[in-house]
Structure formats: C-alpha cells, structure tokens
C-alpha cells in the first residue's frame, strides 16, 4: 500500500494509485446549488405524496440530492438531471425500508419528544391512501397529479410504457375510490 | 381490483396535487447539511478505497504472488515472531513491503502496529478499512506494508520515515474502541535482511472466520450492463452488484488477472480474491468501482450491523 500523493481535488485514489473520477461534485458551487434550490420543492412534493409525512419526505429528498451531489459531474450532463433525482426520490419514497430509515434520521434530526407525523389536515387521509397503494400505482398517480407530468414522462418515471402507466392510473384511482367509499361507509 | 369500479375523481386528485405543490414550495432543503453529509460520505468512501488498497497487498501476499524486485531486496520487515501462513502451498511466509515503493534501508525508523481482533465481530477487511484516511495518509511516513494471516485474527501495518511512530500511534488511537478490536500494540520494528520464505510461519489452528459461500458463475448475456445503467435509479441491488462483479471478473481475466474465489458471507457481504500486478485495474474502474462503492455506501446507510463489504482487491 502506498501513501497517496497530494490530491488537490480531494478525489479518491483508485487501486492503481492513480486519480480516479467517481463523479462527485466539488465543494464549490459548480451549478449544484442552483439545481438543488430549483428542484428541491418539486422533488419533495413528489416524495410527500408517496411517503406519508413532510419530515420523511424532506429526508428522502435530501438523500436523493446527496446521491446527485456525489455524482454531480455526471448527473449535470444528463438531459434532465431533475428527472433523474425525482426518479430516485420516487423509488426511495415507495420503499418501506427506505422510508423507515429516513424516519429514523428525521426523528434524530428533529430531536427528542418530536414526531415525524404531519399535523392533521384535510388532505392527510387521501395522501395516506395514495402512499398505501402498490408502488407503481402510487408513483403513477403522484407523477401525473402532483408532479404534473404527461403520460410519456410519467411512464418514464414509473419505468413502464405509457399504456401500462394508464393501467396503473386506472387501478390506483379505483383503489382510492374503494378506500374512500369504505371510509365514508364506516362513518 | 374490479375494472368497473368508478375511479377516484380526476379533478379532486389534481386539486390535491396543487395543494401539495403549494405546501412544498417554501421547503428549500438544507444545502449546508447536504454538503456536510457528502463530505462525510466521501471520507468513508476514501476509507473503503484505502481498505481496498490494503487488501490488495494482503491478497497478493496470501496468494504468494507478490513480486519482490531489486528495489525491495534491501528491506524485509519483521520481528521474527510471526509471518504469513496461507492455505496456498505456494504462499510466501514472509513479511513483505509494497513492491511498488523503493525503500532504502536508511530511509528511517520502521514502526508497526499489531492489531488483534475478534473474528466473530470483525474481519481483516473491516480492520484494514478501520484506520481511516488520516493516519494512513500520513505525509511524513510511508505505509510500506500491511500483512495479515489466514489463520490468525491479526493484522500488522508498517510505516517508515520521520513520522512513522506518530502514524502508528494515530492509527492505534483511531482503532481503539472500535467494535471487534481486542488489542492494538505499537512497536518499533527492525529492518532485517531476512530473505523471503524464511520468516517463522504460524502453526496454530485456523481462526473461526466468517463462512463464505462460493458464488456460482452465471452465463452473462449480451449486452453487458454498464455502471450507468446499474445505478441509473441511484440504487444497486444485490442482483445488479453480482452482475457487475461477474462482468468485472470476466474483463479482468481477459486482462490477465486470476481469481481464486468469489463468494459471499452469510451476512450479505461479498468477498473475492484476485491476483494483483495491474491486471484488471482498468476493468475495475470502468465496470465495477462505482457499483462497488455505491453498494457499500448503501450497506453503511442500512446500519452498523451490516458492516462493510470485504473485497479482496
């Protein structure tokens, strides 16, 4: 093993001892700050509609932007870096494992005695029902109604064809109707 | 789901979306926090890379493939109390120095640490990773060798130069208190002229290391996956990791490297051992490195119980 030579870019050094590019953003701005500021609200809205609380959504979104930051030199060259981040956000927001991890971090960030739950609101029930849908149905609905994507863009976010997206939307909305009716009946 | 169920109202969902967007608008995130996390992750990643470098030396030694050239004949480091013993009959039971670093005998004092760890709570991969970047990157001392044994839960590291003692002591300080570390001893090591294959081999029973299940090599189909495709969604699954690993193995073998085992621990970590000497380095960087690091970071994020990946490279 060999001590690394001075490495002004603070990049990791690969197995052969040569500088390697892992695609991390430098600590300078490099366009990332503007990207982050501009895209964060949209991404966190998408996450909130999928994960059940603002605190968890902010944690998941921050995590997705962290991934983008570490690969910024490559992500910034994509046609739509925002879509790349939102895809990560969506994937993580529908993962119960990711959500539970984010919830723990959010609780740690908020401090003792706090909760990640949102205060009660008229939209809370419907958002919770969307979050409880099967993942692809939930992402399809969030992509179309919250992120306002057209069906082609939404299909890309979900990872399916536009026709399959329409099926996910139809089934998701039907499931929401059933859940809504059941709730109304139970009152 | 019955297809004739009336779907939830389109306009109501659209209004909900509008309210969510309005609530999200003032949420700006915390860029400073993100930068801080990114820096911390970068440090962990660098530590993992240093671990990779260290294991490369270890694997080279264990497999008996270390090239001892003229530049290193002048210095064999050891204290005569141990050596490398391998399951391989071709192993070189000697201390070694990094063959890529020319080290004259008068380069300065050599200081070493010897770490004893609990094999049930740690392993040498974690151990080599554990010292972290600062001590290992000491600019006033050169880390000239890391040795391990397949039979003993011990790892030794050697520094030479004016800052060798400090580097060893700082590494000791960074190790103490970490899970699985039983003891860390710092001592001055004496350069010797002992030729290769004459160090005292250890003869004790093998320590109960973690069980590794050998992976079955799959038939790879065309086109081979790229790293970009694998982490396009920011996540590397186990299936994707193994696909990239085997693609890397295939490429490295074509480049002249050889692999003695590719396996997986019961806790989910992967291990592979390969010959070194430069073969396969380009393959690693182009095919596997980012997937490997991403997967490791995912496991770190999953919690301390998961531990780091052990990669014999």
- B230 has a chain A CB within 8 A of its CB: no
pTM for this predicted structure:
0.46
pLDDT band at B129 (very low <50, low <70, confident <90, very high): very low
- Chain A closest CA to B213's CA: distance in Å? 25
Exposure string (b/e) for B23-44, b if CB count within 10 Å is 16 or more? bbeebebbbeebbebbeebbeb
Q: Among partner residues A41, A88, A101, which is closest to B24 by beta-carbon distance?
A: A41
> Are residues A69 and B38, on separate chains, in Cβ contact within 8 Å?
yes
Three-state secondary structure string covering A62-127? HHHHHHHHHCHHHHCCCCCHHHHHHHHHHHHHCCHHHHHHHHHHHHHHHCCCCCCCCCCCCCHHHH
Mean pLDDT of A165-175: 93
Question: Which residues of chain B neighbour A141 with C-beta distances below 8 Å?
Answer: 13
Q: What per-residue confidence (pLDDT) applies to B291?
A: 79
Would you call B235 and A91 a contact, using CB atoms and an 8 Å cutoff? yes
pLDDT in tens, B273-293: 665 555 677 787 788 877 777
From the CA of A39, how many Å to the nearest CA of chain B?
A: 9
B138 contact residues in A (CB cutoff 8 A) = 3
For residue A137, what pLDDT band results from cuts at 50, 70 and 90? very high
Q: What is the pLDDT of residue B300?
A: 57
pLDDT confidence bin for B46, thresholds 50/70/90: very low
pLDDT value for B120: 56
pLDDT at B198 over 60: no
Q: ipTM value of the model?
A: 0.80
Q: With an 8 Å Cβ cutoff, are B23 and A48 in contact?
A: yes
Question: How much is the pLDDT for B13?
Answer: 94
Q: Which residue of A has its CA nearest to B30?
A: A62
Q: What is the mean pLDDT of residues A126-135?
A: 90
Q: Please tell me which of the candidates A16, A27, A175 has its beta carbon nearest to residue B278.
A: A16
Using the predicted structure, report yes or no on whether residue B308 has a pLDDT greater than 70. Answer: no
pLDDT grade for B56, boundaries at 50, 70 and 90: very low
Q: How far from B186 is each of B110, B156, B158, CA to CA, in Å?
A: 11, 10, 10
Whether residue A70 and residue B302 make contact (CB cut-off 8 A), yes or no, is no
Q: Is the pLDDT of residue B157 over 90?
A: no
Mean pLDDT, residues B123-133: 40
Binding-face residues of B in 167-196 toward A, CB within 8 A: none
For chain A, say whether B77 makes contact (Cβ under 8 Å): no
- pLDDT at residue B218 is higher than 70: yes
Nearest residue, CB atoms, B52 vs list A4, A15, A37: A15
Q: Above 70 in pLDDT, residue B208? A: no
Q: What are B167-177's pLDDT values in tens digits?
A: 888 888 877 76
Residue B40 near chain A (CB below 8 Å): no
Quick one: pLDDT at residue B118? 63
Of B35-49, B101-115, B284-298, give the lowest mean pLDDT range: B35-49
CA distance B12 to chain A (A): 9
The per-residue pLDDT for range B247-276, each reduced to its tens digit, is 888 888 887 777 766 777 666 667 666 655
Q: What was the pLDDT predicted at B312?
A: 32
% residues pLDDT > 70 (chain B): 43
Q: Would you call A146 and B301 a contact, using CB atoms and an 8 Å cutoff?
A: no
Report B:248-307 residues touching A (Cβ under 8 A).
Answer: 278, 281, 284-285, 289-290, 293, 301-302
Say which residue, A148 or A100, is predicted with more confidence. A148
Is B10–A173 a contact, with Cβ atoms under 8 angstroms apart? yes
Q: What is the CA radius of gyration of chain A?
A: 20
Q: What is the mean pLDDT of residues B195-217?
A: 51
Distance, CA of A54 to CA of A60 (rounded, Å):
10
Q: What is the mean pLDDT of residues B192-198?
A: 36
Residue A186's H or E segment, with its range, is: helix A162-186
Q: Is the dihedral of CA A46, A49, A53, A56 positive or negative?
A: negative
**Mean per-residue pLDDT, B103-118:** 67
Tell me, what's the pLDDT at A63?
A: 87
pLDDT at B144: 66
pLDDT for B150 beyond 50: no
Taking only the tens place, the pLDDT of each residue in B65-77 is 222 222 222 222 3
The more confidently predicted of residues B122 and B60 is B122
Q: What is the nearest CA distance from A113 to chain B, expressed in angstroms?
A: 22
pLDDT band at A173 (very low <50, low <70, confident <90, very high): very high
- In a mutational test of the A interface, the residue from B1, B4, B24 whose CB has the highest number of chain A CBs within 10 Å is B24
Is B35 an 8 Å CB contact of chain A?
Answer: yes
Candidates B3, B16, B29; nearest CB to A40: B29
Nearest-angstrom CA–CA distance, B62 and B60: 6
How high is the pLDDT of residue B21? Answer: 94
- Nearest CB among B233, B289, B302 relative to A14 is that of B289
What number of CA atoms fall less than 13 Å from residue B227's CA on the CB side? Answer: 19
Say what the pLDDT of residue B302 is: 57
Q: Which of B116, B77, B124, B153 lies closest to B273 in space, CA to CA?
A: B124
* Shortest Cα distance, chain B CAs vs residue A124, angstroms: 10
- Count CB-CB contacts under 10 A for residue A111: 7
pLDDT, chain B, mean: 61
A·B CB contacts under 8 A: 176
Q: How confident is the model at residue A2 (pLDDT cuts 50, 70, 90)?
A: very low
């Amino acid at each position: 093993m060999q001590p690394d030579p001075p490495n002004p870019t603070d990049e990791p050094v690969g197995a052969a001892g040569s500088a390697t590019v892992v695609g991390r953003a430098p600590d300078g701005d490099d366009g990332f700050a503007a990207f982050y500021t501009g895209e964060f609200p949209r991404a966190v809205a998408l996450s909130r509609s999928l994960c059940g609380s603002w605190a968890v959504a902010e944690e998941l979104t921050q995590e997705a932007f962290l991934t983008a930051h570490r690969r910024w030199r490559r992500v910034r060259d994509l046609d739509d870096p925002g879509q790349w981040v939102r895809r990560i956000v969506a994937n993580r927001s529908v993962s119960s494992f990711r959500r539970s991890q984010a919830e723990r971090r959010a609780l740690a960030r908020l401090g003792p005695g706090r909760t990640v739950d949102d205060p009660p609101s008229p939209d809370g029930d419907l958002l919770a029902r969307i979050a409880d849908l099967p993942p692809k149905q939930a992402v399809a609905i969030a992509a179309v109604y919250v992120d306002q994507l057209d069906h082609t863009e939404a299909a890309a976010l979900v990872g399916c064809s536009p026709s399959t997206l329409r099926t996910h939307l139809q089934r998701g909305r039907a499931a929401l109707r059933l859940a809504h009716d059941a709730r109304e009946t139970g009152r | 789901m019955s297809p004739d169920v009336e779907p939830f109202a389109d306009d109501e969902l659209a209004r909900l979306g509008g309210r969510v967007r309005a609530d999200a608008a003032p949420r700006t995130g915390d860029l400073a926090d993100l930068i801080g996390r990114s820096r911390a992750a970068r440090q962990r990643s660098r530590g993992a890379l240093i671990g990779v470098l260290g294991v490369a030396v270890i694997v080279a030694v264990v497999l008996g493939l270390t090239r001892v050239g003229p530049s290193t004949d002048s210095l064999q480091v050891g204290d005569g109390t141990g050596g490398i013993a391998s399951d391989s009959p071709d192993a070189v039971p000697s201390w070694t120095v990094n063959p890529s670093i020319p080290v004259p005998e008068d380069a300065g004092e050599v200081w070493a640490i010897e770490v004893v760890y609990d094999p049930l709570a740690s392993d040498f991969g974690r151990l080599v990773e554990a010292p972290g970047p600062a001590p290992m990157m000491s600019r006033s001392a050169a880390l000239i060798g890391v040795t391990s044994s397949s039979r003993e839960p011990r790892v030794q590291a050697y520094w030479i130069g004016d800052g060798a003692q400090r580097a060893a002591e700082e590494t000791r300080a960074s190790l103490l208190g970490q899970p699985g570390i039983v003891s860390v001893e710092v001592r001055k090591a004496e350069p010797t002229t002992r030729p290769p294959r004459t160090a005292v081999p250890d003869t004790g029973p093998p320590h109960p290391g973690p069980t590794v299940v050998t992976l079955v090599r799959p038939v790879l189909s065309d086109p081979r996956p790229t790293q970009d495709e694998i982490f396009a969604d920011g996540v590397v699954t186990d299936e994707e990791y193994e696909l990239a690993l085997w693609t890397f193995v295939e490429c490295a073998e074509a480049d002249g490297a050889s692999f003695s085992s590719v396996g997986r621990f019961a806790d989910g970590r992967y291990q592979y051992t390969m010959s070194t000497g430069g073969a396969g380095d380009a393959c690693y960087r182009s095919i596997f490195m980012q997937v490997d690091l991403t997967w490791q970071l995912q496991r770190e994020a999953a919690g301390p119980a998961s531990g780091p990946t052990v990669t014999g490279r």
